[in-house]
Amino acid sequence: MDKAPRLIDPFARAITYLRVSVTDRCDFRCVYCMSENMTFLPKKDLLTLEELDRLCSAFIGLGVEKLRVTGGEPLVRRGIMTFFRAMSRHLESGALKELTLTTNGSQMARFADDLAACGVKRVNISLDTLDEEKFARITRWGRLRQVLNGIDAAQKAGLRVKINTVALKGFNEDELFTLQEWCAGRDMDLTFIEVMPMGDIGNEDRLDQYWSLKDLRARLEERFTVTDLAERSGGPASYVRLHETGQKIGFITPLSHNFCESCNRVRITCTGEIYTCLGQEGKADLRAPLRAHPEDDAPLIEAIQAAIATKPRGHDFDYSRGDVMGRMSRHMSHTGG
Ligand code: SAM
Ligand code: SF4
């Protein structure tokens, strides 16, 4: 099988990683992500499960080796296991190396075994606090117990769990070591995410919530020997090892530019728009060629290649001067976090 990547952007980067949002809906309303009264897209605008299959399969045919399913909350999409089962054929053929998802964990107890059976080996579960009351406050609609049960189920099914925690000033600063110890005790990696200026969600001022990961790391260094790991994901994450526990800790700083030169990824929204850069508005519609040619993938493949040919060199968030430059008008739940 020809393993040469076939999606190469103008800066000679091979696109091997696709993140696909399968729904804009969610059973939580995290304060940094959604407003309480969200208006969701009409169902007809969303890609059907069959369209998602065709689209992802086209990317895999073009050299994508890693597929991350996200949302909204991917596990609230009706029939989503049909999609996972369909994608597992690409794992079996060897074309796809990894099939994974990012989830809030609320439905994990129901789906962990099915996901494992589809060849999913690792999952990212988002969790910002281990305090029941704070959890209810930050997710508005979530219950901590449900997510903890989901995490138990995932581990029981043999899935490797990574916890994703949004670093929020004045909210979970005091839980840094509680979360770190809890993850170490359960053999889970932990990644912190810097809060991003995404979408207009009305209430919270995210500059107030901004807790720099530099500061967070400095606090870890007060207690541990922290060593940088060479490993890069091709995305905005960097990793360190805590010498004393052997634990891996990740830092996702989407506001920095220092990963753009190795960027290997594109994102698809639940309506079939492709975004070639996390921090720029540049997008193209892939739903139109999908729907106009139900039997023929050639126009879709052409549209994908045309979009990759416009992938920008890098992105442009800037928190300087106390203003949020490059604030994105889209919600993360739409593009997929
Ligand atoms: N619902 C799933 C979940 O929460 O894991 C998947 C989608 S969610 C948009 C993906 C990730 O984005 C989550 O880890 C979430 O915490 C993070 N996220 C959402 N809004 C964010 C923001 N404004 N800044 C930084 N991270 C954010
Ligand atoms: Fe839902 Fe995930 Fe957004 Fe929270 S971060 S509201 S769980 S999509």
Task: Give the Å distance between the CA of 93 and the centre of ligand 1.
Answer: 31
How far are the Cα atoms of 118, 146, 200, 204, 220 from residue 141, in angstroms, in the given order?
29, 11, 20, 17, 31
Domains and CATH numbers, the chain: 17-335 (3.20.20.70)
Low-confidence ranges of the chain (pLDDT < 70): 1-5, 197-207, 255-258, 315-337
Helix (H) or strand (E) holding 290, with range, is: helix 287-292
pLDDT given for residue 232 in this prediction: 78
30 touches ligand 2 (CB under 6 Å):
yes
pLDDT given for residue 257 in this prediction: 65
Contacts of 223 (CB under 8 A, 6+ apart): 177
Structure confidence by residue, pLDDT tens digits, 241-250: 999 999 999 9
pTM of the model: 0.93
- Total residues belonging to the chain: 337
332 touches ligand 1 (CB under 6 Å):
yes
Cβ(47)–Cβ(55) below 8 Å: yes
- For ligand 2, atom 4: residue with the closest CA: 30
Nearest-atom index, ligand 1, CA of 198 = 23
104 touches ligand 2 (CB under 6 Å):
yes
pLDDT given for residue 254 in this prediction: 76
337 touches ligand 1 (CB under 6 Å):
yes
Cβ(103)–Cβ(124) below 8 Å: yes
Burial class (CB in 10 A: 0-12, 13-18, 19+), 308: buried
Would you list the DSSP string of 33-70? T--SSPPPPPGGGSPPHHHHHHHHHHHHHTT--EEEEE
